[in-house]
Amino acid sequence: MTAKVLQNQAGTTVPNDTAQALSPLPLMQLSTGFWAFKTLAAAHELDLFSWLSGSPGTTSEELAEHLHIATRPAEMLLTGAAALGLLSKRDGHYVNSPVAEAFLVRGKDTYFGGWVQMLDQRLYPGWDKLTEAIRTNRPTTWDPDRQESLFAGEDPELLSVFWEAMHSISTLTARSLADAVDLGDTDRLLDAGGGSGAFDTELCRLHPRMTATVFDLPAITPIATGKVAQAGLSERIVAVPGDFFLDERLPGGHDTILLSMILHDWAEERGREILAKCWDALPDGGRVIIAELLVNDERTGPAPAALMSLNMLIETEGRNYTPAEYTRWLHDIGFSDIRTVWFEAPGANGVVIATKRAVA
């Protein structure tokens, strides 16, 4: 008989039901998970990784002097960051590990620090009230009685943190999507709820004949316009303001519509409504691509998708759905050739792709 397992956040599994393996260690690992996160978040907030980039490294005394703090916490922070694989030690000096150098140094195009900051400032306090969200079935990061949706009336400072985060995640996810799915025959991409245009920028860079439209709420499209201009792609990517619920139709003239991290924000009924609008906007032979952290059909994981789903509980009316659920919604609308392609990326572990075919 297969042993039951506990799955930790990193996706590793440990036996939990055989007599000799019974130990509270997995629980110790789970319950101290936030120590690791807060160490990363503090080091990032203190700009440790950007400061170390390109330098010969630091000792605890040097860090203490640089931050005007006592040597004790400086030493503890450096040791903690090294233990987590964020720093390594060379000739008595702490230096960035390759992962910190690649993803936690401000200004690099692979910068991932926006995500760390967003989790620390916005989601960590929301997760602190997870039990309340479970009891009430309501978000904890905003108040549905005072705000129409997560996306309405956001504090501008947190909004910019959110977009730094989304952009870094989605740029990396777009690269994995492009490796996993052949998009070479896509000429005109519509990125519905495209946010900062990270997917469009990355996919247009990789596919020279592709042009793209980022469709999003009027408050968000200027962010995409700015990011696209920074990438030098303003001639191939336009940002069009709109609302996929209020507008009767999505912009037409596109052969592929991407929905990345959109459907998990909404209840099933609203998700089906968005997909039906994709159907109406596509030509015969056009396709829709749903990119998400997909929960498996058995609803046992994987951990990143299952935990993102709980994140949707504290943030939205949605949840992370399974390929079987998306397949049913797409099938009901009329889509065919529905398939799931799995890959690994920070913002998605796969896509569900479907084609619009005229009825024979």
Ligand X SMILES: C[S@@+](CC[C@H](N)C(=O)[O-])C[C@H]1O[C@@H](n2cnc3c(N)ncnc32)[C@H](O)[C@@H]1O
Catalytic residues: 264
Closest CA to 241 of 231, 233, 251, 232: 251
Nearer to ligand X, 101 or 265 (CB): 265
Closest CA to 347 of 324, 322, 320: 320
**DSSP string over 154-191:** --HHHHHHHHHHHHHHHHHHHHHHHHHS--TT--EEEE
**Any contact of residue 245 with ligand X (CB under 6 A)?**
yes
**Any contact of residue 220 with ligand X (CB under 6 A)?**
yes
Q: Minimum CB separation from ligand X for residue 190, in Å?
A: 11
**Residue 60, phi then psi, degrees to nearest 5:** -65, -35
Nearer to ligand X, 49 or 199 (CB): 199
**Any contact of residue 116 with ligand X (CB under 6 A)?**
no
**Considering only 60-68, 175-183, 192-200, 334-342, which stretch makes contact with ligand X by CB under 6 A?**
192-200
Query: Two tokens at 148?
Result: 């129409």
**Any contact of residue 195 with ligand X (CB under 6 A)?**
yes
Nearer to ligand X, 63 or 223 (CB): 223
**Considering only 12-20, 42-50, 216-224, 349-357, which stretch makes contact with ligand X by CB under 6 A?**
216-224
**Any contact of residue 194 with ligand X (CB under 6 A)?**
yes
Name which of residues 163 to 182 contact ligand X (CB under 6 A): 166, 170
Q: Minimum CB separation from ligand X for residue 193, in Å?
A: 3
**DSSP string over 222-260:** HHHHHHHHHTT-TTTEEEEE--TTTSSS---S-SEEEEE
Alpha carbon distance 96, 167 (integer Å): 23
Q: At what angle do helices 268-281 and 323-333 cross, to 10 degrees?
A: 50
- Out of 244, 326, 329, 335, the residue judged to bind ligand X by CB under 6 A: 244
Nearer to ligand X, 162 or 335 (CB): 162
Q: Are 124 and 301 in contact (CB under 8 A)?
A: no
Nearer to ligand X, 222 or 285 (CB): 222
- Which residues bind to ligand X, rule: CB under 6 A? 151, 166, 170, 193-195, 198, 216-217, 220, 243-245, 260-262, 265
